[in-house]
Chains A and B, each alone.
Chain A
Amino acid sequence: SYELTQPPSVSVSPGQTARITCSGGALPKNFAYWYQQKSGQAPVLVIYADTKRPSGIPERFSGSSSGTTATLTISGAQVEDEADYYCYSTDRSGIHRRVFGGGTKLTVL
């Protein structure tokens, strides 16, 4: 089966750099996407196609990918960045699956 693995939690102080990883065997062939979900809200896309940032997303959010690991980086994390972050990817071989990672709780305090 196709899975994406994330650390359950990451904690940083305000102003520090937060890095959240996502590991998956199909990532070398497929892009990674990142969603931010604040408590009680719907997910919001913050990174698409490994490295691209949608309009309206602060520049402190960036993405990278190497081999089987994609990384979301928040440079100078703010208190308002505290949220759950999910990576997402597709496996277009065979039955065309779509998968979310297990999510990472980012704490900024």
Chain B
Amino acid sequence: QITLKESGPALVKPTQTLTLTCTFSGFSLRTSYVGVGWIRQPPGRALEWLAVIYWDDDERYSPSLRSRLTVTKDTSKNLVVLTMTNMDPVDTATYYCAHLYYDFWSDEDYFDYWGQGTLVTVSS
């Protein structure tokens, strides 16, 4: 059974750096084609993809946020960390991590299991 859980500060100040941790179980980032992604959702608004990291350390980022994001993994501890620099009130959102499943038939991957999300508020 795949589970993921996000953790981190509920409140950050403008200009600070946000660090979120995704702790997961039921799969390993040592397994080929597996990945973990980050998605956020401002209150009352749509989902926005942020970043993914793959088993082979390949990283992909949203073009609009590329300069502010870094994603890393600790395979031995089954966790992925997202850092976002220079936080602003518009970054207030629920941040989700999700398991990325690769479908050999379609040659595409997609998010099939999600964490419960963690609300981050940016305010002074």
Say if A and B assemble together. yes
- Could you list which residues of chain A lie within 8 angstroms of chain B, going by C-beta atoms? 30-31, 33, 35, 37, 42-45, 48-49, 54, 86, 88, 90, 92, 95-103
Can you name the residue of chain A whose Cβ is closest to the Cβ of B61?
A95
Centre residue among A37, A90, A98, A100 by max chain B CB count within 10 A: A98
- B47 contacts A103, C-beta separation under 8 Å: yes
Provide the B39-53 mask, 1 if CB < 8 A to any CB of A, else 0: 100000011110010
A80 to B48, CA, bound (A): 25
Decide yes or no whether B110 CB sits under 8 A from chain A.
yes
- In the assembled complex, the CB of A54 is this many whole angstroms from the nearest CB of chain B, namely 7
21 CB-based A-B contacts, threshold 8 Å: A31-B108, A35-B47, A35-B111, A42-B96, A42-B117, A43-B47, A43-B111, A45-B110, A45-B111, A45-B112, A48-B110, A49-B105, A86-B47, A88-B47, A90-B109, A95-B60, A95-B63, A98-B49, A98-B60, A99-B49, A102-B46
Can you name the residue of chain B whose Cβ is closest to the Cβ of A95?
B63
Provide the B91-124 mask, 1 if CB < 8 A to any CB of A, else 0: 0000010000001011011111011110000000
For chain B, what secondary structure do more than half of its interface residues adopt (helix, strand, loop), or is it mixed? strand
A90: chain B residues at CB < 8 Å are: 108-110
- A96 contacts B60, C-beta separation under 8 Å: yes
- B46 contacts A88, C-beta separation under 8 Å: no
- A43 contacts B114, C-beta separation under 8 Å: yes
Q: Which 6 A-B pairs have the closest CB atoms?
A: A100-B47, A98-B49, A42-B114, A49-B106, A103-B46, A102-B46
Can you name the residue of chain B whose Cβ is closest to the Cβ of A100?
B47
CB within 8 Å for A42 and B115 given contacts A97-B62, A101-B46, A102-B46: yes
A49: chain B residues at CB < 8 Å are: 103, 105-106, 108
List 14 additional contacts besides A31-B108, A43-B114, A100-B48; criterion CB under 8 Å. A42-B116, A42-B117, A43-B96, A48-B103, A49-B103, A49-B106, A86-B47, A92-B108, A96-B60, A98-B60, A100-B39, A100-B47, A100-B49, A102-B46
